[in-house]
Structure 1
Amino acid sequence: MAGNSNLHMSRNDKADEFYTQLSLIESELKHYRQHFRGKTVLCNCDDPYESNFFKYFAMNFNALGLKKLITTCYAISPVTGKEFQYYMDNGGQLSFVPSASSAPVQEENERKPYKVEITEVTDENGDGRIDLSDVEYLMRNKKNTMTLLEGDGDFRSPECVELLKEADIVVTNPPFSLFRDYVALLMQYNKQFAIIGNQNAITYREIFPLIKSNKIWLGYNNGHYWFMVPDSYEEKKTDFKIDESGQKWRRMGNICWFTNLDIEKRHENMTLFRTYSPDIYPKYDNYDAIEVSKTADIPCDYDGYMGVPITFMQYYNPEQFEIAGLDDHRVEWVGHGPRLNGKVKYRRVIIRRKQVNTNEN
């Protein structure tokens, strides 16, 4: 319930400022490394020098074999320019403020969105590795550029859409309140992606048909995760903390990754060990399907339709199961949902096994 309340809160938060920890990015993207070689990656909801998405790809630019990294930020982001300071030099170009520099920096009300394009990362400080201590040197390389955006940096703006067209793969944590719009744009331009969202997005009318038709699926990691939030964020009684540096953190529930990049997990069969019994698996009042209240309880010997929780999607293998629909996406269930003994059950995905695996019995 805490996770759901957090989601509702984020929908009402116009800033949608939840910054992803580097550990969450690393634990997911380690499964996608083969997809990045020779590709242009876009992080279009990330202040380039504040975002851990930028940090991940900058530090792993050579290891992943990237062709190019593009990152952009949004004008109203409360952290824009907070960690990385920049100024307009005499030539009209954006420049970073080196450590211990007396160069003028931008005032908070003068901060503007910008983009960073990286095509080469070298070990400038000679320590034998590529890490964040090399970041200040990146922009001294003439092959890398940092420029102001003409608009506000919204991912839907014409200039950001042009960057989207250039990209091969998009990786970011888009605003939860704009998740539908964000995914629609990715699909419109036929882009590959790995993005963070809330598990409840599975049930969106705009998203579920894409999942049903195997155009989108879930990644590896899901659960409750901590996100950095700006100083202006209202303190909460639960799932909230302030660390020793004064940074505010908010834990969000039911977080998962959505992707259309092929991963091994998607081809792994669930091990089914329950056997069907009409006493254990009753049929719904209003549809010819049995109720399976827990994903782990899917029977190995039932060939008809089954209603399972949306958590099933974490384990969905299209070679093992077919998805028939989602309760209120079936015409006869609009506004009602599956009923069992007169009571409406929470959201259910209707599935059926494609094959009988004798090894599961």
Structure 2
Amino acid sequence: MQNKKSITKGDNFEIKTKSSNKNLHKASKEKKDEFYTQLVDIEKELKHYKEQFRDKVVYCNCDDPFESNFFKYFAASFNALGLKKLITTSYNKSPIAGRQLHLFEIEGLKSIKPKDAEPYKIEINEVTDINNDGAINLEDVKQLLRHDKNTVTPLSGNGDFRSEECIEPLKEADIVVTNPPFSLFREYLAQLMEYDKKFLIIGNVNSITYKECFKLIKDNKMWLGASIHSGDREFRVPDDYPLNAAGFRIDSDGHKYIRVKGVRWFTNLDYEERHEDLVPYKEYTPEEYPKYDNYDAINIDKTADIPKDYNGLMGVPITFLDKYNPEQFEIIKFRKGDDDKDLIVNGKFPYFRIIIKKK
């Protein structure tokens, strides 16, 4: 039987959904994991950290400066956040890198054709009301880039975040904010830790299961962000992206968007909500909370089911980290029992569990 496809037309775009087993793992395998974060999701997350950006150098090193919503957000909010400097770089294999160059008409770079998709570095040190419209916004940034050729420079290499010319601005940066390729998440995160940087980045929730990532979470050196705790999020994808995801749409300009499940922000910037206590309401019974066959801890299938009157070891889903307060709970270990095999309960293997206990 063929999969059914439904199409709903709106005023400005066409939404399509179809049944499929294709998902983010296939995108990662094929290296088609270049997803462009929506501005609304950036705004919802960044509002929790605004004071931490004052007088800081922000680096977005996986972003085409002419397309990235990270660049748009920080450029338009440069003065409101009190930034010291904004630096962005792009990768020349990005399918959209440089295509919007003509919108800015960069002085001194007009000979470079948009189709070349060359990587660039943009440095913003000041944003003033250049167009005299009484407001400071992205239009002023466009004017700034148009008239100051020293602000925009082509990169000599390909713009890879691991290249030396992209590591140099990383050394200067105070905070890194971007959406790195999901297939390179571990390598990207390792670089941030090597250079001891504050960061706010997007990744898949299953990144928690990487031993390198889990260790950072266990040691309270990284945690989940404030705004995304469930559901899926919409990302723009390159024009040649195969639309075989569970849900997608194409807007009136032909831009493609897909919905990706299990997306989370990862950060080492603190925020107030992270220290709010989880309030359990259920009571413990041995029947409802069986112990693992190979570890002395009870199994809990949902974070909301953590019992209020149990003080021993508990195995919880990885989504527990959405509610994790390091002052309330201690993370003991991940996934394995006393026999160093995956946790088993009543002869069955639940999906990865984090062993915790109350403080």
Contact residue 120 and residue 144 of structure 1 kept, 8 A:
no
The residue that corresponds to 1:268 in the other structure is 276
Question: Aligned in 2, Cα 1:3/1:115: closer, same or farther, shift over 3 Å?
Answer: farther
Counterpart AA for 1:117: E
Partner Cα separation in structure 2 for residue 226 and residue 351 of structure 1: 32
Q: How does 1:95-134 map to 2 (within 5 A)?
A: 106-108=113-115, 110-134=116-140
1:58 aligns with 2:85: no
Question: Aligned in 2, Cα 1:237/1:39: closer, same or farther, shift over 3 Å?
Answer: closer
Deviates more, 1:11-20 or 1:258-267: 11-20
Partner Cα separation in structure 1 for residue 333 and residue 112 of structure 2: 54
Q: CA deviation at 1:274?
A: 1.2
Partner Cα separation in structure 1 for residue 245 and residue 298 of structure 2: 40
Tell me the alpha carbon deviations over residues 165-218 of structure 1, each in whole angstroms, 9 at most, x when there is no partner.
000000000000000000000000000000000000011011100000000000
Residue 174 of structure 1 aligns to a residue whose secondary structure is: coil
Partner Cα separation in structure 1 for residue 85 and residue 143 of structure 2: 17
Q: CA deviation at 1:107?
A: 4.8
Residue 340 of structure 1 aligns to a residue whose secondary structure is: coil
The residue that corresponds to 2:339 in the other structure is 332
Q: CA deviation at 1:9?
A: 1.9
Residue 56 of structure 1 aligns to a residue whose secondary structure is: helix
The residue that corresponds to 1:99 in the other structure is none
Residue 312 of structure 1 aligns to a residue whose secondary structure is: helix
Partner Cα separation in structure 2 for residue 235 and residue 118 of structure 1: 36
Question: Aligned in 2, Cα 1:331/1:67: closer, same or farther, shift over 3 Å?
Answer: farther
- Number of positions where the alignment pairs a residue of Structure 1 with one of Structure 2: 338
Contact residue 39 and residue 70 of structure 2 kept, 8 A:
yes
The residue that corresponds to 1:44 in the other structure is 61
1:254 aligns with 2:259: no
Tell me the alpha carbon deviations over residues 226-283 of structure 1, each in whole angstroms, 9 at most, x when there is no partner.
0001110112262111122211111100101000011112211111111111111111
1:94 aligns with 2:99: no
The residue that corresponds to 1:26 in the other structure is 43
The residue that corresponds to 1:193 in the other structure is 199
Deviates more, 1:244-253 or 1:232-241: 232-241
Question: Aligned in 2, Cα 1:129/1:306: closer, same or farther, shift over 3 Å?
Answer: same
- Out of 337, 347, 351, the position equivalent to 1:342 is 347
Deviates more, 1:242-251 or 1:16-25: 242-251
1:351 aligns with 2:359: no
Residue 226 of structure 2 aligns to a residue whose secondary structure is: strand
Counterpart AA for 2:203: G
TM-score w.r.t. length of structure 1: 0.89
Residue 288 of structure 1 aligns to a residue whose secondary structure is: strand
Residue 236 of structure 1 aligns to a residue whose secondary structure is: coil
Q: CA deviation at 1:331?
A: 6.6
Partner Cα separation in structure 1 for residue 177 and residue 278 of structure 2: 28
Question: Aligned in 2, Cα 1:353/1:88: closer, same or farther, shift over 3 Å?
Answer: closer
**Runs of at least 4 residues off by over 6 Å:** 86-89
Tell me the alpha carbon deviations over residues 121-172 of structure 1, each in whole angstroms, 9 at most, x when there is no partner.
0122222222232232122565961101111100010111111100000000
Counterpart AA for 1:195: I
1:81 aligns with 2:98: yes
RMSD (CA atoms): 2.0
- Out of 220, 224, 230, the position equivalent to 2:238 is 230
Identity %: 58
Counterpart AA for 1:131: N
Q: CA deviation at 1:49?
A: 1.4
Partner Cα separation in structure 1 for residue 242 and residue 153 of structure 2: 33
The residue that corresponds to 1:157 in the other structure is 163
TM-score w.r.t. length of structure 2: 0.89
Residue 166 of structure 2 aligns to a residue whose secondary structure is: helix
Deviates more, 1:165-174 or 1:221-230: 221-230
Counterpart AA for 1:339: I
- Out of 300, 303, 307, the position equivalent to 2:311 is 303
Contact residue 305 and residue 350 of structure 1 kept, 8 A:
yes
Question: Aligned in 2, Cα 1:13/1:237: closer, same or farther, shift over 3 Å?
Answer: closer
Gaps of 5+ in 2: 1-18
Question: Aligned in 2, Cα 1:266/1:5: closer, same or farther, shift over 3 Å?
Answer: farther
